[in-house]
Amino acid sequence: MTVVVWTEQALEDVNAIRAFIARDSPYYAKLTVERIMSSVDRLEQFPESGRIVPERGLQTIREVLIGNYRIVYRLLGGRAEVLTVFHGARLFPALDES
């Protein structure tokens, strides 16, 4: 089983998404965050289920797409580290890939 770890940046991203959606609908904000979190939970059993991020082309940098959001994570041994979550219409952010 793979251990899933959230970076501080990824948690901040999810909180910002929740706050943005909640301005119009607290219900959909909660639902969106639940979908994001549950999609990451599957990485415990299927860590390579996300696609390779096209902008990076590395086997270890992958993403899961949920609605309009991209959840980017890095595989490190028996661990999946969630790096960032962002809207797909935005430019791909700089990542600390070290």
- Each residue's pLDDT tens digit, 54-72: 988 999 999 999 999 999 9
In a domain, residue 46? The reply is: yes
What's the pLDDT at 38?
93
In a domain, residue 96? The reply is: no
Instruction: Give the CB-side neighbour count of residue 42, counting CA atoms within 13 A.
Output: 14
Instruction: Please report, for the domain that includes residue 58, its CATH number.
Output: 3.30.2310.20
Q: What is the pTM of this model?
A: 0.89
Q: How many structural domains are present in the chain?
A: 1
- Least Cα distance to 70 among 80, 83, 57 occurs for 83
In a domain, residue 92? The reply is: no
Residue 5: pLDDT band with limits 50, 70, 90: very high
Distances (CA, A) of 20 to 25, 38, 50, 58: 9, 20, 25, 31
For strands 3-6 and 79-87, give the pairing: parallel
What is the domain extent for residue 67? Answer: 3-87
In a domain, residue 98? The reply is: no
Residue 97 pLDDT > 60, yes or no? no
